[in-house]
Amino acid sequence: MNQDEMKRRAAQAALDYVEGGIIGVGTGSTVNHFIDLLAGIKGRIDGAVSSSEASTARLTRHGIAVFDLNAVGELSLYVDGADESNHRLQLIKGGGGALTREKIIADASQRFVCIADDSKLVDTLGRFPLPVEVIPMARGHVARQLVKLGGTPVWREGFVTDNGNLILDVRHLSIEDPLAIEQQINAIPGVVTVGLFARRPADVLILGGPDGTKTLT
Ligand code: 5RP
């Protein structure tokens, strides 16, 4: 079984958490499976709040209504993928560059169900380069501050976020204390969002693997 099939398994299992109303929908290849599967039960929900233009387009193609978060308020459920999760369900996200809207929707949701293939579970976060969304004029300044924290930032050249900003992917950070690192990077002027989800981790992690799915809470 390949990685994509394992992602689809996790996405399928997340359908059990869909109870109705308007749900939050993340971004990425795992979520794409979720959106495609959600289309099969779209009569059960009123619509979705989307974390990216890409997911909005996919939801719309399936005839699922997309709402502005401002018009909806708090959500009962958010389903999204991750680049890494530790056993406390603290995450690295933003491989697809949608981290800011993802973090907003996660924070606005009562339950965050994260879906991934089982290769994403790690003991310590940081093997995956940590994405940081920055205001364009602050790119160099933020990069220098990240070096002072021990990281090696690499500008994701040619990529502009849905919010018109840039991404720095930070390697070699030792993320023993994800909450502290999240706060430190958030505090650098020019940083819009750091892709560490430690203050607001997932509530449920569904991992797809060759033998089925495993759920961590
Ligand atoms: C996008 C994300 C994605 O959830 C993350 O990159 C995982 O993607 P995939 O499901 O394609 O492995 O954070 O910003």
Strand order through the sheet with 91-92: 84-85, 91-92, 196-197
High-pLDDT (> 70) share of the chain, %:
100
Mean pLDDT, rounded, for 84-103: 98
Retrieve residue 15's tokens: 């359908």
Burial of 110: CB neighbours in 10 Å, binned 0-12, 13-18, 19+: exposed
Probe residue for ligand 1, chosen from 30, 91, 205 as the CB with the greatest number of ligand atoms within 8 Å: 30
ipTM, two decimals: 0.98
Is 27 assigned to a binding site?
A: yes
Is 94 assigned to a binding site?
A: yes
Which protein residues touch ligand 1 with a CB less than 6 Å away? 26-30, 80-83, 93-99, 102
104-154 residue pLDDT tens: 999 999 999 999 999 999 999 999 999 999 999 999 999 999 999 999 999
Could you give the CA distance from residue 18 to residue 158 in angstroms, rounded to a whole number? 36
Output the CA–CA distances (angstroms, integers) from residue 122 to 3, 37, 85, 92, 195, in the order listed.
16, 27, 6, 11, 16
Atom number of ligand 1 nearest to Cα 97: 14
Could you give the CA distance from residue 10 to residue 17 in angstroms, rounded to a whole number? 12
Report CA(108)–ligand 1 centroid distance (Å): 19
As annotated, the active-site residues are 102
Residue whose CA lies nearest to ligand 1 atom number 7 = 82
Q: What is the pLDDT of residue 213?
A: 96
Here the contacts of 4-8 (C-beta below 8 Å, separation 24 or greater) are: 4/29, 5/208, 6/117, 6/118, 6/208, 6/209, 6/210, 7/33, 7/81, 7/115, 7/116, 7/117, 7/208, 8/33, 8/37, 8/208
Is 40 assigned to a binding site?
A: no
Report CA(197)–ligand 1 centroid distance (Å): 13
This prediction's pTM:
0.96
12-31 residue pLDDT tens: 999 999 999 999 999 999 99
Retrieve residue 36's tokens: 């495609």
